[in-house]
A and B are shown apart, each in its own frame.
Chain A
């Protein structure tokens, strides 16, 4: 019997979802378009050809070689040869250049004497990616030129120098799991998970808000299947899970595929991880939706939370360096574990045993938020069945509305009479 009731509630909830454009926007349109926008925004992964200004006080063959080679790296683009630092700095101030390469006058001479010569780099710190590009571009060029210089010196053949050359140890760098080492591969998985959780919260809260509004006006009458809170919660969760089965498939599988992002997941792992994530998010959404009084306040209450949530997940600022208070608070949100788990399953090819900590946490959250929503639901609906507080509120609202209408009619009549 309860099962039939649950399906009943589920069906009603689905119909309510489909007929409410506001909720559909959250459940379908935002998840459909928002990830595309973000993936498109970070599509180029890194910054290339960062404009730099050059101040070459040395004006020698070697200094010009350095500049030429820097210009040839994918990271940098020399846009101007300046007479002095003042001119170069001015270019930075006008946002034309983001870095300065300064080669001092004694550069060539120092090299010829066999001492260490220095090239000064100045970077505008309005973005760390400029810093990264300038440093890695110039370091690459200097390593390359250092090798050439050593070769030339070795051809002069001194024994001890040759000895040294037998020792150097090469090193190579491999960025694992995010081959472009860029923004799209690192941020998008987090955004995708967060979009799922936040749209659920917003949609569910909007429905709850609408319900509350209607209840205040005394319009909402609930059927007998609403007597058992477990049926209601189960039915609602089932309905949302059905919708989000499709939404999640699109967001987590199709979007990364569309943008050629790494997708190393294995289906059983992904399913076994995403189901508890969706359940935890659903009950989390239901629990907090009880605090929403009307339809549109969900925007003001929940949208801004996305910003701290993405940082709490540790995808950007490392979890190992978070103050313990925030690390503990982060445990409350499904997105924290969802982002960490999904990023590693999707991008790093982790298996279920590698993310078992996150998976367990999500199941615990599911249980806790289920109990919590059960508790709140029971209290709320008990109070409605008795002609208590809610009832009084409903009557008051209705009377006020009627009075307003009467007033308006009176005014209309009066103005009509005057004419």
Chain B
């Protein structure tokens, strides 16, 4: 089993992801420079957070043209696991691997805080070890996390059970007050139809150590590890 963490110019959560996979998940992991075109050594690829290409043009827009992204698309088409976190989620949307887009937060602020996330589905390789409806405490850190999509896409997401995480209050209620960025229907994370590609704005890699205030992210990586073992 091997994880890869893609590094674009401007990625800055790549080391956090690497640290969590190597130290807390205990699996082999390698950085993948964005000019790489062969991912055949890997079972799962993490597209990490940060500011790829300085967020020029739109967040994630220029990273979609990096050579590695063609390989990531093929990798995803083979049913292998692609996990986009924060800027990684933005990149996967820009690249068309996930539907919709992420625009400027409704209140314009860069928001950095712990939020409550409701696990809407555990029928994914990323949430299988978590109980449906469970509330996770995981931090967000973004200015463009406001998820938008047209009505048709939204209905497809709902019908196919592709909305995996929603912002909620402490008791798991989906409320306007608990929506930090104006995202449609409090959407914090979605998967593709085949459920092997997942993108989320919150940072589970920053919630794997009690010292950092939460361990709740660990179960996401634990689920993924189990899925890779079953897949391989």
A and B bound?
no
